[in-house]
Amino acid sequence: MEMRQKLKALTQDDLKSLDEKLGFKVPPSYSNFLLTNNNGGQPIRNTFCQFDSHNNLINEVGVNVFLGIDDNLSCDLYHNSIILSDRIPADLLPIAHDGIGNVICIGVGEDNYENIFIWYDNETEGEPSYDDVELLAKNFEEFISGLR
């Protein structure tokens, strides 16, 4: 994937350290993406388009930056997972920002593993729930192929 701005290159050891800090393994589709795409960054194709069964556009979601392992905390996956832990459901891992406050996440739970969601920052109070979450794609590959 072509990136406008890339983060520093990663190693398997970097990913292993991230998994240890998180307490679980980053889904392979995303960890492989980080290894092969310079650790995330700003994609050139940056709008995910979702279509219905009649090929009508039903949703567009911007991707400002894919999160990776970075000294710039706004782009760091672990840092984002910590600061959002009291706002998004525990079985979602933030992997990208849309540029207007919403977060694209990958499922890490048994029932949603590798599904891609968007969490809308509606500043809802209370325990994290799926009220502000919408499914975008069945997996990361489907999400990437939907970027225009």
pLDDT, position 3: 87
Q: What is the residue-averaged pLDDT of the chain?
A: 94
3-class SS of residue 23: coil
Task: Give 24-77 pLDDT, tens digit per residue.
Answer: 999 999 999 999 988 999 999 999 999 999 999 999 999 999 999 988 899 999
Average pLDDT value for residue range 119-140: 93
Tokens standing for residue 35 = 């290894």
pLDDT at 21 > cutoff 90: yes
- Closest by CA position to 29, among listed 89, 148, 87, 115: 115
Using CA atoms, how far apart are residues 48 and 43, in angstroms rounded to an integer? 11
Q: Round the CA-based radius of gyration of the chain to a whole number and report it.
A: 14
Residue showing tokens 């949603």: 112
Percentage, residues of the chain above pLDDT 70: 100
Domain-by-domain residue ranges, the chain?
3-145
This prediction's pTM: 0.94
- Closest by CA position to 144, among listed 57, 37, 58, 14: 37
Give CATH superfamily name and number for 3-145: SMI1/KNR4-like (3.40.1580.10)
